[in-house]
Amino acid sequence: MMKNIIFDMDGVLMDSWDVMNDAFVKIKFRGKTIDEVIANHKKYITTKPYHSKGEPLSQERYKYVIDVLDQCFEIIKSDPRYKPFYGFLDELKNIKDARFAIVSSNGEKHIRNFIKRTDILFTHALSFEDNPSKEAKVEKITKDWGVTEQDIIYVTDTIADIFELQSFIPKSNLVGCSWGYCGYDLLSKELPSNQILLEFSDIHKVLETKQFKF
């Protein structure tokens, strides 16, 4: 059986929490101090996103967000803290009969940077520029793969993703990772413990419990 797995990027595949917050401070996005930025960033990752499917998003706001993400990339691209979770990528390489995709609210430059740093093949790597809505991006991937939302799992590190996707993807197919932005304690308020990865290798346990269609 083919395993169909879609990943959020930041916090799941990429270690970026500290560097993104530092960059936000430098460009005064979400606050002027690190405490303000972190507080507002935590609010963003624990509430349904303003750019979810069906939510009004002006062209001006859309362009502003892309500009912010581009500015952040120029700040963090050479920071040694900004790196993939290589241990998790190693586990993904050991999954047989699988296809992977990325759905991110980060910018295209961030995603291209990540793709260059791994030899794992992702059939899709969709950014904020592709569509602000993660639901719309997941819908495109499932259509291209010829499967339904019942036949995938989505790996995230934020409650925001759960709130955005739980009416589209069965909640039992949403998997959290404890090493990301929200952490285990917050994720456990929305997901059962057997749907939260504590260690990188736990991805294999989750896959063993899921049924996938061709």
Task: Check whether residue 202 and residue 148 sit in a common domain.
Answer: yes
Task: Check whether residue 47 and residue 93 sit in a common domain.
Answer: no
Task: Check whether residue 136 and residue 116 sit in a common domain.
Answer: yes
Task: Check whether residue 116 and residue 55 sit in a common domain.
Answer: no
- Tell me the pLDDT of the chain (214 aa) as tens digits: 789 999 999 999 999 999 999 999 999 998 999 999 999 999 999 999 888 888 888 999 999 999 999 999 999 999 999 999 999 999 999 999 999 999 999 999 999 999 999 999 999 999 999 999 999 999 999 999 999 999 999 999 999 999 999 999 999 999 999 999 999 999 999 999 999 999 999 999 999 887 554 3
Residue 211: per-residue pLDDT: 59
CB atoms near residue 121 (< 10 Å): 8
Task: Check whether residue 182 and residue 110 sit in a common domain.
Answer: yes
User: Does residue 135 contact residue 51 with C-beta atoms inside 8 Å?
Assistant: no
Residue 1: per-residue pLDDT: 77
How many structural domains is the chain composed of? 2
User: Does residue 108 contact residue 127 with C-beta atoms inside 8 Å?
Assistant: yes
- Helical axes 34-45 vs 17-27, angle rounded to 10°: 120
β-strand partners of 15: 83
Task: Check whether residue 107 and residue 48 sit in a common domain.
Answer: no
SS3 per residue for 155-203: EECCHHHHHHHCCCCCHHHEEEECCCCCHHHHHCCCCCHHHEECCCCHH
Task: Check whether residue 122 and residue 153 sit in a common domain.
Answer: yes
| Domain assignment present for 23 | yes
Residue 40: per-residue pLDDT: 96
91 is in which domain, residue-wise?
A: 3-15+84-209
Task: Check whether residue 107 and residue 174 sit in a common domain.
Answer: yes
| Domain assignment present for 113 | yes
| Domain assignment present for 72 | yes
Task: Check whether residue 92 and residue 61 sit in a common domain.
Answer: no
